[in-house]
Structure 1
Amino acid sequence: MNLQVSTIIFTIINFIILLFILKHFFYHPLNKIMDDRKNGINTSIKNAKDNEKKAEISRKEKDRLLHESKTTGREIVEEYKVKAQKVSQEIIDKAKKESIVLMERSKVEIQREKEKAESEVKKQVIDLSLILSEKALEQHIDEKEHRRLIEDFIVKVGS
């Protein structure tokens, strides 16, 4: 038993020495490695959370920009729609004005043609009257005098 107690004491002393050696050479470096690993993991988690926040901020900014661009696009479309309607109305107004001008020109042209036709008819009536008068009188009257007489007659009849 003596041996056994001495072996037990010796084993306990060896164990304590081994424990101090392990603690001195391995526990602190191992603890440092574990702390470093823990800090690395915490930093990674913190970076991941920061990146997640940044991603969320970026997503919100992207959504805001998308909304603004859609709004701006709608405004531009509406603006060009209004401009197109304005241009369309200007074209229609211009066409109406041109048609009115053409109508007035046509009326003037028709009036000229009417006057020209009336003048032609008047001339033909005078010529016919001359021929009839000559035949009726069977004498030759001066053409200028005869025309004057017929024109006076037409003016009196036409009035």
Structure 2
Amino acid sequence: MDWHWESFVFTIVSFFALYLLLNKYAFGPLFKIMEERRRMLSDQITSTEQNRREAEKLMAEQQQALQAVRKEAQDIIEQARKTSSKQGEEIVDLAKSEAARLKDEALKDIDNEKNKAVAALRNQVSAMSVMIASKIIEKQVDEKSQEQLVEHYLKEVGGNR
């Protein structure tokens, strides 16, 4: 095997020329595309990580808001319970006072009617006593006639009721 230095130099020059052409037209654009892809993937990973952090932050805020709303709802329910209980007690107290007032009025009405009946009875007894006395004076009768006369007037008064 012979070694020719011209071929060796020609091969090396050809190799460098091919390398320069490949570097300019093939490797340069290829490396540029690969670098853009690496940058794009890096940006997407960063963006995805940032979106994940924002989503976690929003989720935490929503959970806090939900807890605040739940607490507020519990407070509203508790307030409604207290208010309804208080209103129920007020209604019962009002009904009791109204019942007591009606009872007092009824007792006063009964008392007034009783007093009126007693006064009317006294008037009738007075009137009867006067009539009996006048009849007795007119007749000057014995005791038996007097008893019959009193019973007769009592029956008349009893029949007028």
TM range (shorter): 0.7 to 0.9
Q: Which residue of 2 aligns with 1:43?
A: 43
Q: How many residues were matched structurally?
A: 139
Pairwise CA distance, 1:29: 2.7
Pairwise CA distance, 1:134: 1.8
Per-residue CA distance 1:120-150 (angstroms, 9 max, x = gap): 11111112212221222217xxxxxxxxxxx
Per-residue CA distance 1:61-84 (angstroms, 9 max, x = gap): 111101110100010111121111
Consecutive unaligned residues of structure 1, counting only runs of 5 or more, are 140-159
Per-residue CA distance 1:32-79 (angstroms, 9 max, x = gap): 221111011011011101101111111111111011101000101111
Supply the AA of the counterpart residue of 1:57. Answer: K
User: Could you tell me how far apart the structure 2 residues matched to 1:54 and 1:128 are?
Assistant: 108
Q: 5 Å matches for 1:62-77?
A: 62-77=62-77
Supply the AA of the counterpart residue of 2:22. Answer: L
Q: Which residue of 2 aligns with 1:86?
A: 86
Supply the AA of the counterpart residue of 1:61. Answer: E
Q: Which residue of 2 aligns with 1:132?
A: 132
Query: What is the alpha-carbon root mean square deviation over aligned residues?
Result: 2.2
Pairwise CA distance, 1:12: 4.7
Q: Which residue of 2 aligns with 1:123?
A: 123
SS in 2 for 1:138: helix
User: Could you tell me how far apart the structure 2 residues matched to 1:83 and 1:17 are?
Assistant: 95
User: Could you tell me how far apart the structure 2 residues matched to 1:41 and 1:93 are?
Assistant: 76
Identity %: 28
User: Could you tell me how far apart the structure 2 residues matched to 1:6 and 1:137 are?
Assistant: 188
Q: Does 1:15 align with 2:25?
A: no
Pairwise CA distance, 1:14: 2.3
Q: Which residue of 2 aligns with 1:156?
A: none
User: Could you tell me how far apart the structure 1 residues matched to 2:107 and 2:7 are?
Assistant: 141
Pairwise CA distance, 1:18: 0.9
